[in-house]
Structure 1
């Protein structure tokens, strides 16, 4: 049986966007769609003795442009701050996180973290419609494997997984 969209949880570190300490906030309430576009960069090559071409994946170019209905909460404050200050450079850098609820056991489970840039994209709406704001999120580095721990009151703590090479070098 297929799982519904609520199984995939997206988080954004909004603390970095407002100039404060790390604060992971769920991108759920107010968002009608959150779709990750990983934009795989592939290279295809076909040699004269090959019937079919071979493909190599060279990397990924993550992007998303989520649109959010205006809600009074911490996520909206971060979005409003961007639309008031129009940050550039390092002020746009933060982290995007994603985990699946089915991976969470006893409050902890697998979660990826990706450095991203976040910037204001559009805000407004038609007369009589709900006020909406869109932000542009683009990947800005390598995906990191880790675990997320969900604490009391909906707090989130992420920890990077050690790879076998670095774990062995600590002996």
Structure 2
């Protein structure tokens, strides 16, 4: 006698999330040398792509047909380009292009969460210590003025909780 095997419901539909589900924040307050001020990297940015640059070691032993790999760490790197807008984020970028900071003056935090992880304005979020520096500014004749910054990981990723204020939409982060 054959056993029947239950088959998963094939009527389920899965939809890919669009880019608006991923929210990137930068602590522009620390870049200004003051207290934490999280600002969303959204308006003005046409692309923000995190490149985590995993560092791996591969070893192939004599009794193996294929190599085995070990992940040693990650090196976050991104170069977001932004159209010139008059807001707090642009003011922080403009300040970098005036002062060309080095050392500790370039250190801050990058945050990222997915809206689908939020429940009642709170949910999982990562925080990464980063260095931020000016990279390029300008554009072609007749084009919109653009500025590009370089963001590089500068320490271990931390998992925490992001909370969005229902009063003013500001962000706060807490370690888990």
Q: So what's the TM-score if we normalise by structure 2?
A: 0.91
Matched residue, 2:42: 28
Structure 1 residue 144 displacement after superposition:
0.3
**Where does residue 126 of structure 2 map in the other structure?**
112
1:134 equivalent in alignment to 2:109: no
Two-structure CA RMSD over aligned residues (Å): 0.4
Q: How does 1:16-95 map to 2 (within 5 A)?
A: 16-95=30-109
Per-residue CA distance 1:76-107 (angstroms, 9 max, x = gap): 00000000000000000000000000000001
Q: 3-state SS of the aligned residue for 1:76?
A: helix
Q: Distance in 1 between matches of 2:169 and 2:151?
A: 23
Q: Verify: 1:149 aligned to 2:158, yes or no.
A: no
Runs of 4+ in 1 over 6 A off after TM superposition: none
Aligned-partner SS, 2:116: helix
Aligned residues: 161
Question: What is the match of residue 173 of structure 2?
Answer: 158
Distance 2:56 2:62 in 1: 20
* Whole-angstrom CA distance in 2 between matches of 1:153 and 1:89: 33
Structure 2 distance, partners of 1:19, 1:43, is 39
Query: How does the TM-score come out when normalised to structure 1?
Result: 0.93
**C-alpha distance in 1, partners of 2:55/2:41?**
27
- Structure 2, unaligned runs of 5 or more: 1-14
